[in-house]
Structure 1
Amino acid sequence: MRPQSLIPLFAQTTSLPGIGPRLGKLFEKLAGPLLVDLLWRLPFAVIDRRHAPEIAQAQAGEIATLTVTVDEHHVPRSPRQPYRVTCSDHTGRITLTFFNGREDYLKKLLPVGEQRIVSGKVELYQGEVQMTHPDHVVPLEQRDQVLRVEPVYGLTTGLTQKAVQKAIASALERAPELPEWQDPAFLARNRWAGWRSSLIQAHAPGEETDLAPDHPARARLAFDELLASQLAVALVRHHNRTIAGHVTQGDGRLRAKALEALPFALTGSQRTALGEIASDMAKPERMVRLLQGDVGSGKTLVAFLAMLIGVEAGAQAALMAPTELLARQHHATIAPLAEAAGVRLALLTGRDGQKQKRKTLQGLADGSIPLVIGTHALVQEDVEFADLGLAVVDEQHRFGVHQRMALSSKGHAVDLLVMTATPIPRTLMLAAYGDLDVSKLTEKPAGRQPIDTRALPLERIGEVADGVGRQIASGARVYWVCPLIEESEEIDLANVEERFELLKVRFPGKVGLLHGRLKSAEREATMSAFAEGRLSLLVATTVVEVGVDVPAATVMVIEHAERFGLAQLHQLRGRVGRGSVRSTCLLLYAQPLGETARARLAIMRETEDGFRIAEEDLRLRGAGELLGTRQSGLPDMRLADLAAHAELLQAARDDARLVIDRDPDLESPRGAALRALLYLFRRDDAVRTLRAG
């Protein structure tokens, strides 16, 4: 149950004065449906309205707050002309200009002969002083409310600054005083105020410097968010660790057979990772480990060998992939090795026929199938295991926490190995997973060639198409990825379909189309045709970003590369260079290039090291944009900036560990306040863990 003290913060924004259902929808789009969402929207700029000159002293281009007398209204003859209101003081005249102004409204707002306070940007037009659409027009008695430093908030179409400022001011009035959850010595050392005071201060910046991430009010709120995040992770981990696991030790016989069937030796980092996993599985506590490996570093093989440890110990192991395409690829990679080891392997997806599915389910339930690879079909209710010992989750950021937990719950204290090909910077690792045990694969398998990466302006697209033609003629396979346009699937689709139509005319019978709106059967058929060489050129959206493995593909063309993040460019480039033939990646960009985009393309040309690329991405873009938090399963930070608050993140992690060591059930007075903190940042899952004990 959420504490009573938090109830006002979890009211709908429509409970604020002046916000009805229509505005409520806009506020929900801007921040979220609740008051607490609105309060987390901190201002990103300030406007200083304290400058109050007389008209003659007002300079063009500056923001000024003027006291004027309304002289005359000039009503336009045509609606296309602006509505003008002439005003003056004892030093001169100014014209207030309104486009599409309503006469009745403006005459009421600016009655002739009365004084008004107007504030906005001063302009010179044909030698006359004017102000277009003043930001504020108020009676004299409200002068002090305008003469201030005003916070500026991000907006969404249909909302004005005034509406957002008013809503946030009302929400702040309702924010309650809450018991202090921070360590008093830590607060004193940082000279931070209490939670409510910091929140009010963060929404009332007095100057530009008050917007900095290290400003005491902002740093305090960021630390609250980071502590909630770290405490939630620590609680769930503590809970997992207290569940007695089972000791899983294999004798190595199956692994030896599988390794013998491999045409190459494991890399050093594969051997290290496997050793770390084996040692975790042999402990009585449950394993929760992340296997982080760059594109093409051989994670699937490490996961398969870990699964064999489970089978050697008499248990079962399951690998869950986010798409059917990926599940089938893993199955194709693993099947010959499983056969060499003499272990039965099954594939379970949503598209299996009833007869096949029944057979697989029966084999998993009676234990005659020790290894299974599948999609989220594995977590459906009718799937039962005789004794699931290890669950492997691939591209784990594509799954919700619940799906990961659902697979783990198919057995008792199942060891969990999560894999990702998205290299995550250390700061983000800490934010998302606390101090989760991590194994890193840093080497590429032997025989892999470096990828020749070049950046070219879009004007040279004709030359690129000619080059692609030569590659196709020599038997190569090519990816052509079309641009990503934020929030607009329609435009994405139009882009990719238009490019497909043009290239199809140029290379008849050789071009396939791949995007997220196609039915999975169509996608599978196109991918198979490309993998088998019946198609030579695949025009696609970013659906090819993860887990598509066609070793014969040697060219990757990325249109409008400047619109992609570094991590995504790196993932896309990783689709080529998977065989022993030299590969090329062409980054086509639109001119002129912004500074960040230029830096991004330069890093892509310099290095193929995914871990370095991830660190640079964090530095260039900040964590909010990195990987797209919604897609990545990383916590969506509203107040903390992981690049700027890295030290606070470390402190939050240390504090969370200390709390769990001293008061794992959060029963002390500070523990009770920390429970409120968890609810405040919607970490209800962690509180449920406490209750589940």
Structure 2
Amino acid sequence: MSQRPEPLWPLFAELKTLDGVGPKTAKALESGGIEAPRDLLFTLPHGVIDRRPKPSVQDAELPGVVTVEITVGRHTPSARKGGPYRIHVEDSRDHFQLVFFHGRGDYLQRILPEGARRIVSGRVERFDGMAQMVHPEHVLPVDEAASLPAFEPVYPLLGGVTQKLMAKALADVLARTPELAEWIDPGLKAREGWPDWRAALLEAHAPTGGADLVQTVPARARLAYDELLAHQLTLALARSRRRAAKGLVSVGNGALRRKVLASLPFRPTGAQIRAMDEIAEDMASPERMNRLLQGDVGAGKTLVALMALLIAVEAGGQGVMMAPTEILARQHLEGLRPLAEQAGVVLELLTGRDKGAERRAKLEALARGDIGILVGTHAVFQADVQFCDLRLAIVDEQHRFGVRQRLELGRKGAAADVLVMTATPIPRSLALAQYGDMDVSLLDEKPPGRKPIRTALVSSERMEEVVDHLRKAVAEGRQAYWVCPLVEESEVTDLTAAEERFRHLRAALGEGVVGLVHGQMPPAEKDAAMARFVSGETQVLVATTVIEVGVNVPNASIMVIERAEWFGLAQLHQLRGRVGRGEAQSTCLLIYQPPLNASGTRRLTTLRETEDGFRISEVDLEMRGAGDLIGTAQSGLPKFRIADLEHQAGLMAMAQSDVRKLLHDDPGLESTRGRAARMLLWLMRQDEAIRLISVG
């Protein structure tokens, strides 16, 4: 199974084997991400030109493309170099001009000799009542009229490859495309009215009008579905492979968990209880847990995480919780320690800062099993970190943590259960694409006692009013964040913006009241500035977005975001979630510079109207697209050529359930449809999945 099936060889041949493609064109195509004929197949036209012949330019809507038979009249070369060279022509009812700039007279005399009949096709516009076709795209003798397609597809152009060349190469690829056995469930295919695979490609590359270019036409929908099906099949194979791997059975007696719950001043929400039960069930099963705990800002993920860690300890093992930054690791420690103490569990912190004898002592205690729960940064990946009996690994803020690190962590405790926590609400379609190999627990209720946050839009012209508002709040003992915008990705200018705001506020509110953190600071200074704010020594913290994730200061009840229109929705929602954690009514002020454009207005008003992270993430997805939403570079999101995650979420869900059925009926992909599905995996370059089947 490790050899690509023979029917696909022509689609994975060198580009140079295609009609009209030499080494230079091949290089240009490769720079646009087209490495094999197969990639050209999945580069669909995004436009179509109607080249059907008209009797006369009089019958056409101008300006527009016209194809018409003409008689060539006199040539009028330009009096000055590079000026317009005009050729007067007439069709059956009208006369007009062909215009060439930098036209070479000898060449034009040859292809358009006076008195000859020709077919010309190109864009026609009227100037001073006279119709003109500037640089016709096609000039043909009348007997070759049939070689001009009635509808010409328009392709996205890559590295200077012309439309003519794309069309020529594509005609060659389509001619060598084989018929392949059907991998889509026959019932589904009939219900959706989808064509066979090869027919779908031929149709998609031969549109006859704008209506054929939309995603929902059967040919395009089918091709999009093929991509999503291959992707979901890969995730499902990875998942069943992992399930087959032996995990550890961790069953607790509940003693430690009961102590913690008894010490809480509130009851967990229904969503928290449901998530705790799902996790406990996974940990008790012999298969490895691979679960995503997804909860909006402030939905109470920390408590759920601690309960999971306590199961590991109750079962006689250890748990580790990893955070992307030291600040966050310390915050987890502070959040978890008082609760762990209630249960009498030893909790320790390990970061890159631990050195020498102190670090050695921690590592020895960990290896002996004296430490029940370890909280740390990626420092826990280092080779000398050995656990006595690691049962559970929790990873916080997944999108900073690729799939690779997930595996790395799994190796530390060869069979340890894995729980990933994210505070970024991800729309369902993206969650399926990115975390389709994981089970998902959703925290969709706010814990009791969290007051809604008042959000207001304020024009930057009213800056001084905002500073006055802040002065009163500080006098009442309240704390505030002031977030400065990231200026054009340049840290130097960010810094000046933040420093200027810091000086301005310090002058307005007094020495010692205002602190500053930004990305350029050494970590120790940053931590010290944060610590002063957490302890209430400084009351206003001016920051670039380093405070986005996980910072918890219950007394902070005001969030000011400057140039809010520059931020993405998800980011604004995360920042706003830093307040509203204490007793006081909290406010978020979005300062924008007028005039706001349409997308800025939509982002800021969405934020004003709702605190529901999932609703916000759906709007964000509609506005920004999937790649930007999670930062495609490190998101692990697949790149699809045809499928579009924003608008085809329904197809993704359909593919997921289709794959479940297929693997349930035919886990080894041995049936006729199973073998066709293997062919699909080869076609879609899902080598990872192919390896899983051939090993499995």
Class of the TM-score when normalised by the shorter of the 2 chains: 0.7 to 0.9
- Alignment partner of 1:122: what SS? strand
What is the letter of the counterpart of residue 641 of structure 2? R
Tell me if structure 2 keeps the 8 A contact 1:296–1:574.
yes
What is the letter of the counterpart of residue 370 of structure 1? G
CA 1:616–1:83 in 2, change beyond 3 Å: closer, same or farther? same
Tell me if structure 1 keeps the 8 A contact 2:627–2:637.
no
Of the three residues 563, 581, 597, the one matched with 1:593 is 597
Residue 464 (structure 1) aligns with: 463
Residue 420 (structure 1) aligns with: 422
CA 1:568–1:635 in 2, change beyond 3 Å: closer, same or farther? farther
Kindly indicate whether residue 601 of structure 2 is the aligned counterpart of residue 602 of structure 1: no
CA 1:445–1:192 in 2, change beyond 3 Å: closer, same or farther? closer
Residue 503 (structure 1) aligns with: 501
Displacement of 1:430 after TM fit?
Answer: 3.5
Displacement of 1:92 after TM fit?
Answer: 1.1
Residue 613 (structure 1) aligns with: 616
Of the three residues 675, 683, 686, the one matched with 2:686 is 683
What is the letter of the counterpart of residue 542 of structure 2? L
Of the three residues 407, 410, 413, the one matched with 1:408 is 410
- Alignment partner of 2:549: what SS? coil
What is the letter of the counterpart of residue 654 of structure 1? S
CA 1:75–1:519 in 2, change beyond 3 Å: closer, same or farther? farther
Of the three residues 655, 660, 663, the one matched with 1:660 is 663
CA 1:483–1:411 in 2, change beyond 3 Å: closer, same or farther? closer
Displacement of 1:8 after TM fit?
Answer: 4.1
Find the aligned partners of 2:16 and 2:362 in 1 and give their Cα distance: 51
- Alignment partner of 2:418: what SS? strand
What does 1:259-298 align with in structure 2 at a 5 Å threshold?
A: 259=261, 262=264, 264-298=266-300
Larger radius of gyration: 2
Query: More displaced, 392-401 or 125-134?
Result: 125-134
Find the aligned partners of 1:72 and 1:538 in 2 and give their Cα distance: 72
Displacement of 1:313 after TM fit?
Answer: 0.7
User: Pairwise CA RMSD of aligned residues?
Assistant: 3.7
Displacement of 1:387 after TM fit?
Answer: 1.7
Kindly indicate whether residue 540 of structure 2 is the aligned counterpart of residue 536 of structure 1: yes
Relative to the length of structure 1, the TM-score reads 0.85
Residue 97 (structure 2) aligns with: 94
Unaligned runs of 5+ in 2: none
| Identity within the alignment, % | 47
What is the letter of the counterpart of residue 607 of structure 1? T
Displacement of 1:4 after TM fit?
Answer: 3.2
Tell me if structure 2 keeps the 8 A contact 1:568–1:627.
no
What is the letter of the counterpart of residue 4 of structure 1? P
Query: More displaced, 664-673 or 149-158?
Result: 149-158
What does 1:226-305 align with in structure 2 at a 5 Å threshold?
A: 226-259=228-261, 262=264, 264-305=266-307
What is the letter of the counterpart of residue 655 of structure 2? A
What does 1:614-653 align with in structure 2 at a 5 Å threshold?
A: 614-618=617-621, 623=626, 626-642=629-645, 644-653=647-656
Displacement of 1:88 after TM fit?
Answer: 1.6
Q: How many residue pairs end up in the alignment?
A: 678
Tell me if structure 2 keeps the 8 A contact 1:8–1:174.
yes
- Alignment partner of 1:129: what SS? strand
Of the three residues 303, 322, 325, the one matched with 2:324 is 322
CA 1:523–1:139 in 2, change beyond 3 Å: closer, same or farther? farther
Tell me if structure 2 keeps the 8 A contact 1:97–1:130.
no
Tell me if structure 1 keeps the 8 A contact 2:57–2:66.
no
Find the aligned partners of 1:221 and 1:559 in 2 and give their Cα distance: 44
Tell me if structure 2 keeps the 8 A contact 1:16–1:170.
yes
Relative to the length of structure 2, the TM-score reads 0.85
Tell me if structure 2 keeps the 8 A contact 1:482–1:560.
yes
Find the aligned partners of 2:143 and 2:343 in 1 and give their Cα distance: 86
Tell me if structure 2 keeps the 8 A contact 1:55–1:88.
no
Tell me if structure 1 keeps the 8 A contact 2:350–2:380.
yes
Tell me if structure 2 keeps the 8 A contact 1:504–1:511.
yes
What is the letter of the counterpart of residue 690 of structure 1? I
Kindly indicate whether residue 351 of structure 2 is the aligned counterpart of residue 353 of structure 1: no
What is the letter of the counterpart of residue 213 of structure 1? Q
Displacement of 1:206 after TM fit?
Answer: 1.6
Displacement of 1:390 after TM fit?
Answer: 0.9
- Alignment partner of 1:72: what SS? strand
User: Once superposed, which parts of structure 1, at least 4 consecutive aligned residues long, lie more than 6 Å away?
Assistant: none
Of the three residues 434, 448, 451, the one matched with 1:449 is 451
Find the aligned partners of 1:547 and 1:168 in 2 and give their Cα distance: 51
Kindly indicate whether residue 578 of structure 2 is the aligned counterpart of residue 579 of structure 1: no
What does 1:25-40 align with in structure 2 at a 5 Å threshold?
A: 27-28=29-30, 30-31=32-33, 33-40=35-42
CA 1:242–1:154 in 2, change beyond 3 Å: closer, same or farther? same
Tell me if structure 1 keeps the 8 A contact 2:460–2:591.
no
What is the letter of the counterpart of residue 227 of structure 2? E
Tell me if structure 2 keeps the 8 A contact 1:195–1:221.
yes
Find the aligned partners of 2:79 and 2:561 in 1 and give their Cα distance: 52
Of the three residues 183, 193, 196, the one matched with 1:194 is 196
What is the letter of the counterpart of residue 506 of structure 1? H
CA offsets per residue over residues 427-460 of structure 1, 9 Å max, x none? 433344448432222232344332222335xxx3
What is the letter of the counterpart of residue 312 of structure 1? E
Displacement of 1:294 after TM fit?
Answer: 0.3
Residue 148 (structure 1) aligns with: 150
- Alignment partner of 2:412: what SS? coil
CA 1:557–1:632 in 2, change beyond 3 Å: closer, same or farther? farther
What is the letter of the counterpart of residue 460 of structure 2? I
CA offsets per residue over residues 77-102 of structure 1, 9 Å max, x none? 477xx54443422431224254xx57
What is the letter of the counterpart of residue 577 of structure 1? G
Kindly indicate whether residue 310 of structure 2 is the aligned counterpart of residue 308 of structure 1: yes
CA 1:262–1:65 in 2, change beyond 3 Å: closer, same or farther? same
Tell me if structure 1 keeps the 8 A contact 2:28–2:158.
yes
CA 1:501–1:365 in 2, change beyond 3 Å: closer, same or farther? closer
CA offsets per residue over residues 378-425 of structure 1, 9 Å max, x none? 334443322211111222233222211221232243222121112223
